[in-house]
C-alpha cells in the first residue's frame, strides 16, 4: 500500500521486480530476560500504543540519579517481501529533543531514518508530502544496519506532515536508480500529540 516503485534497495542484491508493501507496526521493544537465574536486573517498563499506521512507544531508561526516565518515540517501519522474508526498507522514528539553554536551543522534534545499504550518499535523503518536497538531509553515517539520517524537524515540516495525506522518501541507489518509498501519514498527528505530552501524563 505505502511502498511502491521499489526495486533493489537491499544490501545483498537488487530486487528484480516492483514490490508493494504495507506500512508495518513498529516492533515493540521487548526487554531481554536475565542471562542467568541469579541475576536480579530490573526489567525496564515498555509501553506501546498504536495510532493507525504510527506506533508510539516508551522505554523506561535508568538515569544517572537512578531514577527511571521515559524515552519515547513515534515510529513506522515499511517492509518488502524478499523470498519468504520480510525485509525492512525504511524506518522512521521521531523523538523529542531536550532544550539546551546554554546553546539557546529550544526543545523540538528529531527525525531519525534508516535505509538499507547501497544508497548513493551524495544525493541525500528527501521527504515529500503529497508529492511536494518538504525536507532534504545528508546521511549521517552507514554501518552494518544500513544508512542513517538525522534531522531536526522545524514547525513547517511538522505541519506539512500532519496535514498531508501521504508521505514519500526519495533516495538514489549506487547504480543511479532513483527510488521513491511511500509511507503513511495516518495517525501521525495523534501520535505526535501523545509524544509531546508532559512526562507521566496520559
Domains within the chain, CATH numbers bracketed: 47-196 (2.60.40.1880)
* CA torsion, ordered 33, 84, 10, 76, to nearest 10 deg: -60
* Full-model pTM: 0.73
CA separation for the pair 43, 166 (Å, rounded): 37
Q: What is the pLDDT of residue 147?
A: 98
pLDDT tens by residue, 86-102:
889 999 999 998 777 77
Amino acid at each position: 500500500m505505502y511502498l511502491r516503485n521499489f526495486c533493489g534497495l537491499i544490501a545483498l542484491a537488487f530486487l528484480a521486480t516492483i514490490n508493494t508493501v504495507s506500512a508495518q507496526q513498529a516492533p515493540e521493544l521487548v526487554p531481554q530476560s536475565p542471562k542467568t537465574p541469579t541475576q536480579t536486573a530490573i526489567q525496564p517498563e515498555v509501553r506501546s500504543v498504536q495510532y493507525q499506521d504510527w506506533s508510539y512507544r516508551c522505554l523506561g531508561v535508568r538515569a544517572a540519579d537512578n531514577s527511571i526516565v521515559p524515552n519515547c518515540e513515534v515510529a513506522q517501519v515499511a517492509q518488502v517481501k524478499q523470498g519468504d522474508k520480510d525485509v525492512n526498507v525504511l524506518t522512521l522514528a521521531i523523538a523529542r529533543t531536550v532544550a539546551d539553554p546554554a546553546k539557546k536551543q529550544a526543545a523540538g522534534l528529531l527525525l531519525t531514518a534508516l535505509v538499507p545499504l547501497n544508497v548513493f550518499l551524495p544525493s541525500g535523503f528527501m521527504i515529500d508530502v503529497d508529492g511536494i518536497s518538504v525536507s532534504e538531509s545528508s546521511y549521517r553515517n552507514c554501518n552494518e544496519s544500513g544508512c542513517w539520517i538525522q534531522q531536526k524537524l522545524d514547525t513547517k515540516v511538522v505541519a506539512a506532515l500532519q496535514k498531508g495525506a501521504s508521505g514519500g522518501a526519495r533516495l538514489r541507489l549506487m547504480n543511479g536508480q532513483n527510488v521513491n518509498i511511500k509511507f503513511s501519514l495516518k495517525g501521525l498527528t495523534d501520535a505526535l500529540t501523545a509524544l509531546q505530552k508532559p512526562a507521566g501524563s496520559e
